[in-house]
């Protein structure tokens, strides 16, 4: 399963489960749409670190890295190298 699909599945089932969404477009703004908040970001960081074996550093905790699935996948790809 590719990174973006894994991220979408996690977001749909763990973070945005009450939203009624069945899919999230890779470019959809997760923050502006209210699909993810600060607590959701903290949960997401835990998922990223566990699932992909990366460490998200403090300087990477900027909205641009968590804005959409595409940005999250880019972060994982950069950190996985």
Burial group, residue 78, by CB count within 10 angstroms (0-12, 13-18, 19+): exposed
Percent of the chain, pLDDT > 70?
A: 98
Q: Domain of 16: which CATH number?
A: 1.10.1200.10
Q: pLDDT: is 14 or 44 the higher one?
A: 44
Total structural domains within the chain: 1
If you average pLDDT over residues 10-20, what whole number do you get? 82
56 to each of 7, 18, 32, how far by Cα in Å? 15, 26, 22
38, HSE (Cβ side, Cα atoms, 13 Å): 0
Average pLDDT, the chain: 92
| pLDDT greater than 90 at residue 74 | yes
Q: What is the pLDDT of residue 53?
A: 95
- Domain of 30, in residue numbers: 3-79
1, HSE (Cβ side, Cα atoms, 13 Å): 9
């Amino acid at each position: 399963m590719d990174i973006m699909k894994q991220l979408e599945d996690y977001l749909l089932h763990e973070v945005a489960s009450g939203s009624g969404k069945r899919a999230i477009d890779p470019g959809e703004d997760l923050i502006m749409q209210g699909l993810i908040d600060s607590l959701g970001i903290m949960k997401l960081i835990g998922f990223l670190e566990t699932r992909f074996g990366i460490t998200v550093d403090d300087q990477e905790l900027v909205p641009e890295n968590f804005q959409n699935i595409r940005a999250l996948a880019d972060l994982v790809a950069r950190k996985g190298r």
